[in-house]
Amino acid sequence: MEKYSIYHSPLAGRYTGRDMQELFSSKRRAETWRLLWLWLAEGQQELDLPISNKAVDQMRSHIAMSDRDFEVAEIEEKRRRHDVMAHVHAFGQAAPEAAGIIHWGATSCYVTDNADLIFLRDGFDILRPKLAGVIQKLADFAQNHKDLACLGYTHGQPAQLTTMGKRACLWIQGLLMDLRNLERARSDLRFRGVKGTVGTQASFLQIFEGDHAKVEQLDEIVTKKAGFDSAFIISSQTYSRKIDVDVGHALGSLGGTCQRIGGDIRHLAMFKELEEPFEKDQIGSSAMAYKRNPMRSERLCSLGRQLVNLAHNTEDTFAAQWLERSLDDSAVRRSSLPEMFLIADGLMILLNNICSGLVVYPAVLQRRINEELPFMATENLIMAMVDTGGSRQDAHEHIRVLSHQATDQVKTHGKDNDLIERVKKDPFFEPILDIIPKLLDPKTFIGRAPQQVEKFTGAGGEVQKALQDYQDQLASAQTTELRV
C-alpha cells in the first residue's frame, strides 16, 4: 500500500514507455556517473598518470549500482549537501583502491553535464524510430483514403472538397518536419568533455604539468569512450544551456504538431466523420452512457500543450545564467529535461495507438458533402450553361436567386439543401438537365488530391525517403497498447 500513499508522476505511471523511464532513472544516472569516472581514470592512466590497474579494475567491476550503494550515497548527501561528492564517496567505498583518484581534476559538471548530454542523445534515439513508426502508419492511412472525398474546412466553415488521405498528409508533413528537427538536434549534440571548473581545463593542465597536448588527448579519449564524435571546444563550468534550448525547440515543436493532429481528430469526431479507436468495454462518460469521447486525442492535446510549455522553460533557464555558471538552472533541469522526453515518448505511444485504428465513416462524409455540394457546384452549372450558348450573367442571376431560396430552407426551416431540385425545376436550366449528375460528381471537385497523396507517400516520395534509415525498426514495429 506504500506506493499509493505518496505522489508518483503520472508520466511514469500512466503514459510513457519503460525504455524512456529507464533512461532517466536514478539508477541510470548514477551508473552513468560511474562510467564517466571510469573513462576519466582510464584516459588518465593511458596518458601515464599514476593510476593502478587494480584501481581501474575495481571501478570497472562496480559500475552497477546496488541498493546498498544508493543507501550510502543518500547518507553521504545528507551529510555533505552535495549529490556528486556523495556519489564520489559511495563509489570510493565500493572501489577502495580507486578512492583517491576518482574525480581527479574534474568538477561536478564533468559527470552531471556529460551524463545529461548522453541522456539527450539516447532520448532522441528512442524517440526517432517511434516517430517514424507513426509517420508510416499515417502514410498507410493516407494511401488507403487518397480518393475518399470529404469536405475541406477553412475558418471552421465548409470550403471546397479534399480527400481524407490528403488531410492526413497535412499531419504527416508536420511530423516529417519534427523528425528532421529531432535528427538535427541529435546530430548537433557534442560532448562537454573534460573542461574543469570554468571551462579552461586549468586543473588538467596542472595535472599534466603544463602538457597541453595531453590535456587535449584526455578530452578526446573520454569523448570517444562516451560515443561522441567531438566535444565542444568552448564551455563554461557547464555546457551552454543554449543546447537545452535547441533540444526544447525540437521537442516543443513536436508537441505543437500533436496538438494540431489531436484537435483535427476531435473536430472530425464531433462531425462524426472520423473516430479514434474505441474499445468494446470502453466507457465514454460516467453519466452519459451513449457517449464516445475522443479521450486519446484529448490526452494528445493535453500532453502536447505541456511539452510546448516545458520547452519555453529552457529559454528562461538559458537567459537566467550568470557569467560562467549559476546554480539556479539545476533544480528546474532535473525535472524539465526528463519530463520533456517522457512526454514526447507518451505522445508517440498515443499517436501510434490512435493511427493504428482510425475509423472513417464514408456515409457520413457523403451526407455532409451532399449538404454543401450544391453550392460548390454552382460555378460548374454556370459554365455548363455558357457552353450551351447561354448568357453567363443570366445564369449567375438565376443561381443567385435559387441559392438564397435554398439557404432560407436550410437555415430558417431546418430542411435539406434543395438547390439542385430547384435548378432542375427551373426551365432556364433545361439545356443541362442531362449532365447535372456529372457536374455534381464529388471526384470532379477534389482536384489533384489523390495524385498529391501518391507523390508524397508513395514509392520514391518524401515520406519514403525520410523513413529510409528506419526500415529495420519499422519492420518490427507493433501497435502500442495504452496503459489507461
Catalogue the active-site residues: 155, 285
How do strand 274-275 and strand 157-163 relate by DSSP bridges? unpaired
Cα–Cα distance measured from residue 320 to residue 333, given in angstroms and rounded to the nearest whole number: 13
How far does Cα 404 stand from its chain's mean position?
Answer: 47
Q: How far is CA 79 from CA 104, 106, 127, 270, 435, in A?
A: 22, 21, 38, 58, 89
In one-letter notation, the amino acid at residue 352 is N
Closest CA to 452 of 174, 173, 180: 173
Tell me if 203 sits within 8 A of 108, measured CB to CB: no
| Angle in degrees, CA 316, 318, 323, rounded to 5 | 125
Question: In sequence order, what are the beta bridge partners of 161?
Answer: 151
Closest CA to 346 of 370, 375, 310, 381: 310
- At 263, list the grid cell: 484537435
User: SS3 for 231?
Assistant: strand
How do strand 274-275 and strand 359-360 relate by DSSP bridges? antiparallel
Cα–Cα distance measured from residue 72 to residue 90, given in angstroms and rounded to the nearest whole number: 6
Cα–Cα distance measured from residue 452 to residue 358, given in angstroms and rounded to the nearest whole number: 21
Contacts of 378 (CB under 8 A, 6+ apart): 399, 403, 419
Report how far apart the first and last C-alpha atoms of the chain are (Å, whole number). Answer: 20
- At 86, list the grid cell: 556523495
Contacts of 310 (CB under 8 A, 6+ apart): 248, 251, 252, 336, 339, 340, 343
Q: How far is CA 87 from CA 271, 325, 328, in A?
A: 57, 22, 21
User: DSSP secondary structure string, 120-178?
Assistant: HHHHHHHHHHHHHHHHHHHHHHHHHTTT-EEEEEETTEEEEEEEHHHHHHHHHHHHHHH
Closest CA to 275 of 257, 292, 256: 292
The H or E element that residue 346 is part of is helix 330-355
What long-range pairs does 425-428 form, CB within 8 A, spacing at least 24?
A: 426/398, 426/402, 428/385, 428/390, 428/394, 428/395, 428/398
Cα–Cα distance measured from residue 433 to residue 3, given in angstroms and rounded to the nearest whole number: 74
